[in-house]
Amino acid sequence: MRKMARFVVTLVVLALGVAACGGDSVEEGSDGTSVDGTPEGGAASCTLDQVDGDLNFYNWSEYIDPELITAFETEFEIDIVEDFYESNEAMLAQLQAGANYDLIVPSDYMIGIMIKEGLLAPINTDAVLNIANLAERFTTLPYDPGNQYSAPYQYGTTGLGVNTALVGEDFDPSWSLIFDPAITADFPGGVSVLNDPRETMGAALEYLGYSLNDTDLAHLQEAADVISAAKEGIATFDSDQYDEALANGEVAVSHGYSGNMIVGFGDAENPDDFVYILPEEGATLWIDNMVVPVSADHPCSAFTLMNYLLDAENGATLTNWNYYGSPNAASLEFIEPEVVEFYAATEEAENLEVIQDTGDYEINFTDYLAIAKG
């Protein structure tokens, strides 16, 4: 059992199901046709445990136990080819450019965008019986009511990991730990910030007192200016190795995701030196989901892997490996109690926001982060 992160939050009741308010579901795809029809690639004819070829899996890095992949490959006698992305926007750009994947794991707000663009096949519930294992609050999510196109995979928060041996114990739990040059100038190695438009621009917006879903261009420019002014103390914009950099003492503070932080702390030589915080100005609560693109070459293999990961024990294996919250009610009895308790506290944390689909405004987050990075 990895040592659980010390967790600094102010507690107040927050209902996860209500908080998860990504983009609204829509009735039509981008070409004006219904997205409720039969998906391409024969997905409608898939049966339980059917596979139709090797599976191309597009996922966040370090997000699934390799032993689960191996066990699935052995049981179903197919190979899984894994590819990784750093942000939802990078994933969407690849898909729009014609990249071909069978199963993808986008975040909440991106589901609404992908539905609007007609990119997702409806879930074949005959082939994904284990979707019934989801906790009720994960079946009424506004970005995809009734899980028509997506099945929740894991959930968590985006905050800051702090090496107290380098920062000290007496610090404000604030985004100033990565954005205030007067503070970061004293940190050995500087800080690591996610290479993610919505997360990093959102953190800067919250630091300024705005919502991470703010759509005022003047406010976004302010946020970009904050990031630009902080660059001297930012060692790297990284969405992959930030936890290792923190645990190894290469940086003093890392912006990143809860589960990766816990794993990184537990693997460090001195785990007691690390704390995970949700900044007092606000932080992100997110839900990642499994989806099958309409362009998938092997949709049946994709639905079979989706069903496999929604199995009670397999779902627990997933969470016990990556230390993210499980949406799978049937898995809870198999999950390490410390992990369950950690995410129960997360759901009560103050000032958590879910990233929402802002429609045509979305591109501005990407553009302004690029400008800020220079």
Assigned CATH class of 6-12+156-284+355-373: alpha beta
CA 21 to CA 38: how far, in whole Å?
Answer: 27
**Residue 289 DSSP class:** E
Instruction: Identify the residue whose tokens are 């294992």.
Output: 133
SS3 content of the chain, % helix, strand, coil (to 5): 45, 20, 40
Average confidence (pLDDT) per 10 residues, the chain, 374 residues = 50 39 37 38 75 97 96 98 96 95 97 96 97 96 95 97 96 97 95 98 98 98 98 96 95 97 92 96 97 97 98 98 97 96 84 94 97 95
**Residue 337 DSSP class:** H
pLDDT value at residue 28: 37
DSSP characters over 153-184: EEEEEEEEEEEHHHH-S---SSTHHHH-HHHH
pLDDT value at residue 346: 79
Give alpha helix (H) positions in 185-295.
Answer: 197-207, 217-230, 242-247, 258-267
Options 3.40.220.10, 3.40.190.10, 3.30.565.10, 3.30.470.10; which CATH number does 48-155+286-335 get?
3.40.190.10
**Residue 325 DSSP class:** B
What are the two backbone dihedrals, phi and then psi, of residue 211, each rounded to the nearest 5 degrees?
-75, 150
Residues 13-37: b if buried by 16+ CB within 10 A, e if exposed: eeebeebbbbbebeeebeeeeebee
pTM of model > 0.85: yes
**One fold for 6-12+156-284+355-373 and 48-155+286-335:** yes
Between CA 244 and CA 334, with CA 111 as vertex, the angle to 5 degrees is 55
Query: Could you give the percent of the chain with pLDDT greater than 90?
Result: 84
What are the residue boundaries of the structural domains of the chain, listed by start? 6-12+156-284+355-373, 48-155+286-335
pLDDT value at residue 135: 96
pLDDT value at residue 34: 36
